[in-house]
């Protein structure tokens, strides 16, 4: 039997009937391992006569790899294969989110209070004082997660319906990490005017607008127009969520090498949504010199307009003290390009522009890839803090406060750049820092008291 090393690209659920006697489960698991399958969860579903019906999670490289495992498993006496399915698709059956009531309905009296005629009292209260809309509805705790499907993850322009699972995932994170309701909204258009007008029209249903996976350069114009038209937090996460976490990572990287970020020349390789957002936030943070490179002349011109200096990749690598790469091009930065004592963050996933170990071997003072630099460390707390403060926008001061809060939680003993995503203390701290920054920067809408 040939051993195959799995690269764990796929997760499969294998359901099998296993003879309920010593040794049979061991034979099955040994065979899977010998075939290069990486075993995850093992679950007993039920006992069925002389068999145990189990589900085994298996990580495999591709469908052909799974077929070879099934062939070998099928040769084991006392094992009967029932089914095999994609574990990720199984998890998404029926979607990942739902709408649930916060109030109990146990009698006709309850219905009269939450619906007619009782609800008329709430409607008249809001009519008399429209700002109380935020106190008596779920809107203050609700974020629209909006996409037009033109730049979904690393998949590109795959359309709004194919992008819906990503929007649901963002909604799950908002609820899990900071208790906000995330509502996916699909705008099936690549026309800027249509996108802007649609979002403005539906905006009263939400407390904030989270733009997700809009392609560059349209994302810049759409966000700009929405901020101008709406007195509510609006943020394109691909730009600003990524920028906040990158700034947090750089704050810690500078601490580890004993330098000040403001005095470093920072090179941005790739000036799409993420790269441009990073450049803008670093400029706001006080970084004096930002250089950059992109194949798109318009992207380079945007950098010039914000005070940056476009140049070639070779010139950038020779000039920059800090390099942040967001191109999605594996191996773009060659080891011979690395300058002594550079800091390199190659953030493209799953394959970085240069592997950290290669950069360090070539003389970098510090190097990391994008595995931990996840914008989910930023956007939940940013929106929670903005909504807690009744903020009319999310400004640079709030973003910088978020980055500083994130940076504090990284494990300095291990020289981590950012903390673990699922640490609830991180998101609480980000929300508090953002709320404070909103008040300090004067972007807070004053809501009259309930009894006013």
Q: What residues does 18 pair with on adjacent strands?
A: 52, 79
Q: Would you state the torsion angle of the CA atoms of residues 278, 280, 283, 284, taken in this order, to the nearest 10 degrees?
A: -110
Per the annotation, the verdict on 285 as an active-site residue is no
Q: Is the separation of the CB atoms in 321 and 327 below 8 Å?
A: no
User: Which candidate in 21, 115, 224, 439 is catalytic?
Assistant: 115
Q: How many residues are given for the chain?
A: 452
Q: Which two tokens stand for residue 331?
A: 């191996």
| Marked catalytic residue, from 12, 140, 170, 399 | 170
Residue 51 CA to residue 18 CA, distance in Å, equals 5
**Three-class DSSP labels, the chain:** CCCCCCCCCEEEEEEEEEECCCCHHHHHHHHHHHCCCEEEEEEEEEEECCEEEEEEEEEECCHHHHHHHHHHHHCCCCEEEEEEEEHHHHHHCCCCCCCCCCCCCCCHHHHHHHCCCCHHHHHHHHHHCHHHHHHHCHHHHEEEEEECCCCECCCECCCHHHHHHHHHHHHHHHHHHHCCEEEEEECCCCCHHHHHHHHHHHHHHCCEEEECCCCCCHHHHHHHHHHHHCCCCEEEHHHHHHHHHHHHHHHHHHHHHCCCHHHCEEEEECCCHHHHHHHHHHHHHCCCEEEEECCCHHHHHHHHHCCCEECCHHHHHHHCCEEEECCCCCCCCCHHHCCCCCEEEECCCCCCCCCHHHHHHCCCCEEEECCCCCHHHCHHHHHHHHHHCCECCCCHHHHHHHHHHHHHCCCCCCCCCCCCCCCHHHHHHHHHHHHHHHHHCCCECCCCCCCC
To the nearest 10°, report the CA torsion of 152, 377, 210, 238.
Answer: -40
Tell me the two tokens of residue 332: 């773009």
Cβ–Cβ < 8 Å for 213, 153: yes
**Active site (annotated) includes residue 175:** no
Distance CA 121, CA 303 (A): 53
Active site residues: 115, 170
């Amino acid at each position: 039997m040939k051993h195959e090393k799995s690269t764990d690209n796929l997760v499969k659920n294998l359901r099998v009937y296993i003879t309920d006697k010593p040794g049979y489960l061991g034979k099955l698991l040994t065979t899977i391992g010998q075939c290069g399958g990486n075993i995850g969860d093992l679950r007993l579903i039920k006992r069925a006569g002389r068999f145990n019906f189990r589900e085994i999670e298996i990580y495999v490289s591709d469908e052909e790899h799974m077929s070879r495992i099934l062939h070998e498993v099928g040769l084991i006496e006392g094992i009967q294969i029932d089914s095999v399915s994609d574990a990720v698709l199984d998890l998404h059956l029926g979607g990942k989110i739902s709408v649930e009531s916060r109030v109990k309905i146990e009698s006709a009296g309850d219905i009269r209070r939450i619906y007619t005629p009782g609800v008329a009292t709430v409607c008249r209260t809001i009519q008399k004082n429209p700002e109380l809309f935020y106190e008596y509805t779920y809107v203050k705790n609700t974020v629209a997660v909006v996409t037009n499907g033109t730049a979904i993850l690393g998949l590109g322009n795959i359309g709004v319906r194919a992008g819906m699972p990503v929007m649901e995932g963002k909604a799950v994170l908002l609820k899990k990490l900071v208790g906000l309701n995330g509502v996916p909204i699909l705008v099936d258009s690549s026309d800027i005017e249509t996108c802007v007008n649609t979002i403005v029209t539906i905006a009263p249903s939400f407390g904030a607008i989270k733009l997700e996976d809009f392609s560059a350069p349209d994302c810049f114009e759409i966000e700009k127009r929405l901020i101008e038209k709406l007195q509510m937090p609006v943020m394109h996460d691909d730009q600003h969520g990524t920028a906040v976490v990158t700034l947090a990572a750089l704050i810690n990287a500078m601490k580890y090498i004993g330098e000040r970020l403001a005095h470093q020349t920072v090179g941005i390789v790739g000036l799409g949504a993420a790269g441009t957002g990073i450049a803008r936030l670093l400029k706001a943070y006080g970084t004096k010199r930002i250089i950059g490179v992109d194949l798109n002349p318009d992207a380079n011109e945007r950098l010039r307009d914000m005070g940056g200096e476009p140049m070639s990749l070779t010139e950038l690598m020779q000039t920059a003290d800090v390099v942040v790469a967001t191109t999605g091009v594996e191996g773009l930065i060659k080891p011979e390009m690395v300058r002594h004592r550079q800091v390199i963050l190659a953030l493209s996933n799953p394959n970085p522009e240069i592997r950290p170990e290669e950069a360090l071997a070539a003389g970098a003072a510090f190097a990391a890839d994008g595995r931990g630099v996840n914008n989910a460390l930023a956007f939940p707390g940013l929106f929670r803090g903005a909504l807690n403060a009744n903020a009319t926008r999310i400004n640079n001061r709030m973003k910088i406060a978020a980055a500083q809060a994130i940076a504090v939680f990284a494990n300095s003993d291990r020289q981590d750049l950012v903390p673990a995503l699922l640490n609830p203390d991180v998101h609480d701290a980000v929300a508090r820092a953002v709320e404070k920054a909103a008040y300090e920067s004067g972007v807070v809408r004053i809501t009259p008291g309930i009894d006013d």
